[in-house]
Structure 1
């Protein structure tokens, strides 16, 4: 180990200590599940914007999109950052006020009121694999970063990151996540603002970049594409753009601000900020094809660029930026399913469970999801693919019941359940039968929507067991 690696490891250790300190400090604010899941609905502008932005700006946006842009250009990263930014803006404009005015703690609470206990139970189960995959992708990226910069074995790095994030999320819940998210957002932006100008001048500006790369690297939509190409393009927008709308992590961030107004515009502002800052790793990945044309491991292209062009103190800053992006996402992705486990799944089987027991199950859920995700991280090697596949589950199974449930009064329990099951099953069958060149997520979502509408209309003449108290209109 040389001196530079030693000081980078020291910097990382100090960073981890600070994050743990925030967890200890915020744990004093936790008295019940309302505090643990929603931070007592007391978040102001800065914490609200910071936690929405930092939660989503994770490994797939930094490591995954830079790698994909390095290989495929802009058309390869439509899902993230562009689709993700679209989702945040849509959530703010059309869902934030509606949900914030309710007393829900999880999105499953909405499904329970709208479609009944059994429908909510089924939909809640779909959330677990989504977040296990998302956390696994972040841990994989963490291992890649530390191994590239410090020489620490990826397995050791994954164990360290898993332990630290589990501990501070376990202790402080949404309060810890929100405060650390704000700190991590600022570090992330600072890191990109340091590296990007250096690379910009290194490659000679955008004009030189366009001249040295193939024209298709800059295409924002399919040029002379087939019908299948356009369907794949539409799927890329919808995968996160609509598929993440039912995300429990996003729901918590719409519910936690102190008012519906703050929730609405925090999400919109975070969405705009997301696409602006999200272009940095995309463009830096493309610049990497010129600055480091012989790089052998494009998953770590941002780290390779930082090591090639920055002095040690700024490498530490860039490393902190990437770790911030990952840790903020991991903490949110742990808290979201843990909240559902403690607040919805366990009470489903034990309806008389006490509030204190719910809180303990929420905390235990952090460890459960963290450990499972650790093993997922060991077996997967592509950050971007693991993330997008995880979010695809919500698109095919949960998006239609949410969207139709909110905006179409006639949607009933039978339709919602049929849509969720049909979308999920059809996607699994199509994914097994067809190659990755086909938009199986898009097909699954379409089947989910059609099934929901048809079954709702066919069963509408039967008495409805649940009134439409929880829809707009």
Structure 2
């Protein structure tokens, strides 16, 4: 297969447009804001994103390379099918649930990052510990989507994948470093528009290819590999619901989402943007569903791809670029590659900005160097972008294992961070003791459940744990169970600690987290004297 010169030229043009947009947005960030700090401009864009830009950049939070590739892959897989595609419904629910419950309390208090309410409620030290799963999730996410782009480029352009990883990573780092959220938001607009147009242009050509059977027929009839609509076996219903809950609720406790929410000019605009993003997110899944259906309805022996099929070659994870390459004209497949590149970059810049924002603002400024100037924090933020981006590019060469690690870290965010955020925003009286106990217990409980993708056998066999191809699979909804246990643990331990200290069952000297000593220091003098008297007696 020879180098695809037109495709290479098209990709270079797209990258140039993206970089130019990012640099223009960086210039705009410096020129348009006079009364905001540089850190606030970089992290939340001066809180003045209009609803159009806000809609596109919020949608791009989860509509990325893994989204459009993953949906097509699940639809194509004979063991899965459309019935197992959770992403459009799950992420749409994320935006809608976020708009109903989380947007107003976050935006109305003018928080800068998602970690602010956690540090405010549980203390700076505990907040820094809660930062770890979020950091790992962002780095592994950055790496996995760069890896997917590298594999796609190698299929369509016949160019070494590592070149695409390096060029894409450096481009994202450069414009994100210079313009912060402004660059990310405005490039998201370009990337999402390009994604919408390119994918919808590719779909008719794939559907009408002579090697493809009518997808309405193959949806319910077994032809090449079985009905692509799929089915949910009775014993897998709990697992299906668990995955849906994981995507719907687990997608909320991420800085990439709240970064857009906090950048809106008002709470009302943030809520409207989140609602509309949920709708657009679901719509963006339709082209990938159709492409996956086309792949399942194609006689590959009639194409230059030949036999064995992508499923038999274990190339199901690359089914979207394979369809674009072998079922669409060259020019159209190049446009599809641009869509994938756009999707990848829209996700990569979000994760990079997310991790660096929280590290610079919540870890460096609030914990390590509280007197740091605004300029110093901005420099640390830019330095962390380079370091984290470089680490992500290095990890991208591990490909599949990186994606599995991201999925596991995403589950940790769901099981550990989501309950913490709920308590910080909605349940008064929760404290650092409950937070620490919840984090530790939830982490251990999740690891005991095992992870089939990483070949980690479960030490704790929930009801319905079965052995499939020498790998244990948990059919019990253990991810949601772990999240609920973490939530209950946080509340119970917080109120238990409050009872023990405030009733003087435990001496105040044992309050190592300095939670209740602060409260007693604010109490009236007569109440303090009474407590001292009780302790002396």
Q: Is the TM value for this pair above 0.5?
A: yes
2:128, 2:404 → 1: CA distance? 28
Unmatched runs of 5 consecutive residues or more in structure 2? 31-36, 301-308, 451-455, 459-470, 503-514, 520-537
Q: Are the counterparts in 2 of residues 191 and 318 from structure 1 also a CA contact under 8 Å?
A: yes
**2:219 aligns to what?**
209
- Residue 205 (structure 1) shift: 4.4
Q: Deviations over 1:379-436 (max 9, x none)?
A: 1327864543231120121011111322222323322222122112221233244156
Matched, 1:337 2:355: yes
Rounded Cα–Cα distance in structure 2 between residues aligned with 1:153 and 1:21: 25
Q: Over aligned residue pairs, what C-alpha RMSD do you find?
A: 2.2
Number of the residue aligned with 2:22: 23
Asked if residue 188 in structure 1 is aligned to residue 187 in structure 2, the reply is no
Contact 1:59 / 1:383 at 8 angstroms: preserved in 2? no
- SS at the partner of 1:231? helix
The residue number in structure 1 matching 2:439 is 420
Structure 2 residue aligned with 1:317: 335
Q: Which residue of 2 aligns with 1:41?
A: 47
TM-fit CA distance, 1:154 = 1.4
| Structure 1 residues 118 and 254: alpha-carbon distance in aligned structure 2, compared to 1, 3 A threshold | same
1:355 deviation in Å? Answer: 0.7
Listed one character per residue, the Cα deviations across residues 63-114 of structure 1 (whole Å, up to 9, x for unaligned) are 2221222112124332x23222211111112111221111211111111112
Partner of 1:470: none
Is residue 93 of structure 1 aligned with residue 100 of structure 2?
A: yes
Deviation string, structure 1 residues 305-335 (Cα, Å, up to 9, x no partner): 1222322332222111111111000000100
Q: 1:194 to 1:436 in 2, by over 3 A?
A: farther
Match of 1:255 in 2: 262
Query: Using the alignment, how far apart are the partners of 1:285 and 1:48 within structure 2?
Result: 30
Partner of 1:156: 163
* 2:253 and 2:418 in contact (8 A); partners too: yes
SS of equivalent residue, structure 2 residue 428: coil
Equivalent in the alignment of 2:379: 360
Q: Which residue of 1 aligns with 2:229?
A: 218
Say if 1:133 and 1:75 are closer, same or farther in 2 by CA, change over 3 A.
farther
Q: Match of 2:75?
A: 69
* Equivalent residues in 2 for 1:258-407, closer than 5 Å: 258-291=265-298, 293=300, 294-295=309-310, 296=313, 297-347=315-365, 348-381=367-400, 385-407=404-426
Q: Which shows bigger deviation, 437-446 or 355-364?
A: 437-446
2: CA distance between counterparts of 1:49 and 1:317?
A: 23
Q: Name the residue aligned to 1:117.
A: 124
Q: Equivalent residue of 2:250, what SS?
A: coil
Match of 1:454 in 2: 492
Q: Is the CA contact 2:117–2:424 (under 8 Å) kept in the aligned structure 1?
A: no
Specify the SS of the correspondent of 2:144. Answer: helix
Task: Normalising by structure 2, report the TM-score.
Answer: 0.81
Q: Is the 8 A contact 1:85 1:272 kept in 2?
A: yes
Alpha-carbon contact 1:55-1:181 (below 8 Å) kept: no
| TM superposition shift of 1:232 | 1.7
SS of structure 2 residue aligned to 1:95: helix
Alignment match, 1:437:
473
Alignment match, 2:512? none
1:366-386 alpha-carbon deviations (Å, 9 max, x no partner): 112111112222113278645
**What's the counterpart of residue 471 of structure 1?**
none
Q: Contact between 1:65 and 1:384, CA under 8 Å: does it hold in 2?
A: no
Question: Deviation at 1:21?
Answer: 1.2
- Does the CA-based 8 Å contact 1:99-1:255 persist in structure 2? yes
Question: Counterpart of 2:240 in 1: which secondary structure?
Answer: helix
User: Does structure 1 residue 55 correspond to structure 2 residue 61?
Assistant: yes
- Of structures 1 and 2, the larger Rg is shown by 2
